């Protein structure tokens, strides 16, 4: 059965940390600064368990990176 789903996109503003780069996840003080760049991620459903990551808009690559999340591509769990 083929399922169809519209794509969904998430976007967030960029930031740099002027102080405390690795402290924010510890709840310690951080001095962030917004930058005029954004990160946008778009996703849509695929039936084949494939993931395609296309970074060609920000780095020079001939084609998108692809990987499979299908179970038969990974060894069995040791537990």
Q: What pLDDT is recorded for position 1?
A: 41
Domains of the chain, by residue range, sit at: 8-73
Counting every residue written for the chain, the total comes to 79
Poorest-pLDDT segment among 17-31, 32-46, 56-70: 56-70
Helices and strands of the chain, counted as H and E runs: 0, 4
Residue written as token pair 């005029």: 36
Quote the pTM value: 0.47
Of residues 11 and 76, more confidently modeled: 11
């Amino acid at each position: 059965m083929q399922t169809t789903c519209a794509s969904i996109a998430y976007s967030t503003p960029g930031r740099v940390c002027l102080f405390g780069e690795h402290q924010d996840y510890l709840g310690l003080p951080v001095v962030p600064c917004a930058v005029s760049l954004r990160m946008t991620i778009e996703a849509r459903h695929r039936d084949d368990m494939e993931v395609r990551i296309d970074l060609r808009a920000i780095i020079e690559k001939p084609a998108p990176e692809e990987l499979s999340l299908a179970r038969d591509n990974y060894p069995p769990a040791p537990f």
